[in-house]
Amino acid sequence: MSVNILAVGDVTGSSGLKFLSAKLKTLKMLKNIAFTVVNGENASGVGVTPSQCEDIFCAGADVITLGNHTWGRREIEPYLDDCPYILRPANYAPQVAGRGFGVFDAPFGSVLVMNLIGRCGMAFGPDNPFFAADRILKNAEPRVILVDMHAEATSEKAAMAYYLDGRVSAVWGTHTHVQTSDGRVLPGGAGFITDLGMTGPVDSVIGITPELSVSTFLGNPPRRYVQAPGPAKLEGAIFEIDENTGRCLSVEAIRVTD
Bridge partners, 170 (sequence order): 146, 191
- Active-site residues, by number, are 69
pLDDT at residue 125 tops 80: no
pLDDT band, residue 224 (cuts 50/70/90): confident
Q: 13-30 and 50-59 are packed helices; what angle lies between their axes, rounded to 10 degrees?
A: 20
Please report the sign of the dihedral spanned by the C-alpha atoms of residue 45, residue 50, residue 55, residue 60.
Answer: positive
- Which SS3 state, helix, strand or coil, does residue 171 take? strand
Within the chain, where are the H helices?
13-30, 50-59, 76-82, 129-137, 154-164, 210-217
DSSP state of 31: T
pLDDT band, residue 222 (cuts 50/70/90): confident
Q: What angle do CA 69, 73, 79 make, to 5 degrees?
A: 100
pLDDT band, residue 215 (cuts 50/70/90): very high
Taking all residues of the chain, what is their mean pLDDT, rounded to a whole number? Answer: 96
Please, are residues 201 and 231 in contact by the beta-carbon 8 Å criterion? yes
pLDDT at residue 124 tops 80: no
Please, are residues 143 and 245 in contact by the beta-carbon 8 Å criterion? yes
pLDDT band, residue 188 (cuts 50/70/90): very high
Fold held by 2-257: Purple Acid Phosphatase; chain A, domain 2 (3.60.21)
Return the pLDDT at 194.
Answer: 98
Return the pLDDT at 99.
Answer: 98
Please, are residues 234 and 256 in contact by the beta-carbon 8 Å criterion? yes
What percent of the chain has pLDDT above 70?
Answer: 99
Q: What does the alpha-carbon distance between residue 111 and residue 243 come to, in Å, rounded to a whole number?
A: 10
pLDDT at residue 87 tops 80: yes
Backbone angles phi, psi at 223, to 5 degrees: -130, 155
pLDDT at residue 189 tops 80: yes
Digit-coded pLDDT (tens) for 227-241: 888 899 999 999 999
- Which SS3 state, helix, strand or coil, does residue 174 take? strand
Q: So where are the chain's domains?
A: 2-257
Digit-coded pLDDT (tens) for 30-67: 999 999 999 999 999 999 999 999 999 999 999 999 99
pLDDT at residue 128 tops 70: yes
Average pLDDT (152-181) is 98
Contacts of 92 (CB under 8 A, 6+ apart): 70, 100, 117, 126, 127
